[in-house]
């Protein structure tokens, strides 16, 4: 495949930085660019999936939406890694808390991604492959976040293909018993794509709602309110 790709309008890899931050919401990408970037330039608008490249504290970084769920996001992960020479993708998403000690607006760093998706079905025989992030990037995020005084948790997340899926109560309880911190919809696809192509990836999430307390943020808060996560991702983004 040549560039521009069917889903990204950039005509050269030079339009996109080596590191791309990726929220699901393209308006969150726009917010990051307008709030934190100097000399921001838009490189994508196809299907409304906005993407920008600019400078954060002198460091060149890009940000782009991915849409919701692995089927959408993996298109962008693959095209950025495979055709635009992107080396690192940092997901900046939202998640639902699955533990009582994980509070609204806490950050979760996904050390591994359990999934009910068929994305790795049949690839590894009898093994249930559990994709993981780049360890150095994970460690840097943890150490930097602690220095910033952020309330963070590192552990496994549950990545589902369906937002409105109702798991059997015993399955949900077992996932919680075995330490799953949060529920979301993209990290397994990101980690699988990065591992396959030899790239770097990390998924971090702001807790937007809780399966325990039933609290939930508004749509506006999800779009513009998660600045601690945005700033952490920008601070650790490799050049």
Q: What are phi and psi of 196, to 5 degrees?
A: -60, -40
Q: What angle do CA 163, 199, 185 make, to 5 degrees?
A: 5
Do residues 189 and 70 make contact, with C-beta atoms less than 8 angstroms apart?
Answer: yes
Please name the residues in contact with 101: beta carbons below 8 A apart, sequence gap of 6 or more.
153
Cα 133 from Cα 137, distance rounded (Å): 8
The catalytic residue among 25, 106, 134, 209 is 209
Please name the residues in contact with 32: beta carbons below 8 A apart, sequence gap of 6 or more.
21, 23, 52, 63, 92, 230, 234
CA distances from 90 to 53, 74, 213, 232, 238 (A): 14, 13, 28, 10, 10
Q: Is 161 a catalytic residue?
A: no
Q: Is the peptide bond before 31 cis (omega within 30 degrees of 0)?
A: no
Instruction: Count other C-beta atoms under 10 Å from residue 225's C-beta.
Output: 18
Q: Known catalytic residues?
A: 209
């Amino acid at each position: 495949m040549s560039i521009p790709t069917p889903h990204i309008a950039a005509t050269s890899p030079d339009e996109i930085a080596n590191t791309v931050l990726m929220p699901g919401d393209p308006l969150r990408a726009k917010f990051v660019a307008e709030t934190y970037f100097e000399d921001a330039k838009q490189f994508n608008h196809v299907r409304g999936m906005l993407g920008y490249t600019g400078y954060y504290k002198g460091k060149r970084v890009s940000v782009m939406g991915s849409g919701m769920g692995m089927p959408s996001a993996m298109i962008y992960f693959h095209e950025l890694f495979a055709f635009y020479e992107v080396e690192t993708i940092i997901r900046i998403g939202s998640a639902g808390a699955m533990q009582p000690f994980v509070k609204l607006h806490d950050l979760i760093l996904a050390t591994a991604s359990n999934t009910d998706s068929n994305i790795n079905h049949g690839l590894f025989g009898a093994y249930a492959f559990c994709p993981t992030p780049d360890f150095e990037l994970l460690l840097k995020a943890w150490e930097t976040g602690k220095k910033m005084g952020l309330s963070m948790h590192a552990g496994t997340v549950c990545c589902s293909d369906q937002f409105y899926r109702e798991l059997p109560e015993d399955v949900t309880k077992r996932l919680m018993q075995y330490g799953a911190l949060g529920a979301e919809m993209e990290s397994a696809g990101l980690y699988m794509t990065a591992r396959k192509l030899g790239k770097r990836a990390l998924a971090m999430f702001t807790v937007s709602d809780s399966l325990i307390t039933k609290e939930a943020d508004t749509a506006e808060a999800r779009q513009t309110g998660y600045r601690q996560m945005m700033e952490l991702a920008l601070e650790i983004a490799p050049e």
